[in-house]
């Protein structure tokens, strides 16, 4: 789960311009789940910079980045895109 969250954070960082203008100071306990994410060193300083600039905790910023990453989850590396056959695409034969 930590690896997936770190990948979602990386996607969120690539799209950080889409972060909401206002992030909450804290979230109600009913809307939170505790878990640990090991943020890659390359992304850590950027996450900390965003948190410092917006005067929010790292947990709030990483949560927002994960949420943003989930909206763009199709960008996770290693995923095979859906391939749809069209009329122009013919199935391969042994000869082809």
Residue 46: half-sphere exposure toward Cβ, Cα within 13 Å? 15
Span 56-88, pLDDT tens digits: 988 889 889 988 988 887 765 555 555 555 555
Question: Is the CB of residue 51 less than 8 Å from the CB of residue 82?
Answer: no
User: Does residue 29 surpass a pLDDT of 80?
Assistant: no
Span 35-61, pLDDT tens digits: 788 888 889 999 999 999 999 988 889
DSSP state of 80: P
Alpha helices in the chain (DSSP H): 2-14, 41-54, 58-71
pLDDT grade for 90, boundaries at 50, 70 and 90: low
* Domains of the chain by residue range: 2-75
């Amino acid at each position: 789960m930590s690896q997936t969250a770190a990948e979602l954070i990386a996607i969120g960082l690539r799209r950080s311009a889409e972060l909401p203008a206002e992030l909450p100071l804290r979230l109600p306990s009913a809307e939170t789940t505790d878990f640990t994410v090991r943020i890659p060193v390359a992304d850590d300083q950027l996450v900390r910079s965003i948190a410092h600039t917006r005067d929010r905790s790292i947990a709030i910023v990483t949560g927002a980045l994960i949420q943003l990453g989930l909206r763009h989850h199709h960008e996770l590396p290693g995923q095979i895109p859906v391939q749809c056959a069209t009329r122009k695409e013919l199935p391969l034969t042994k000869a082809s």
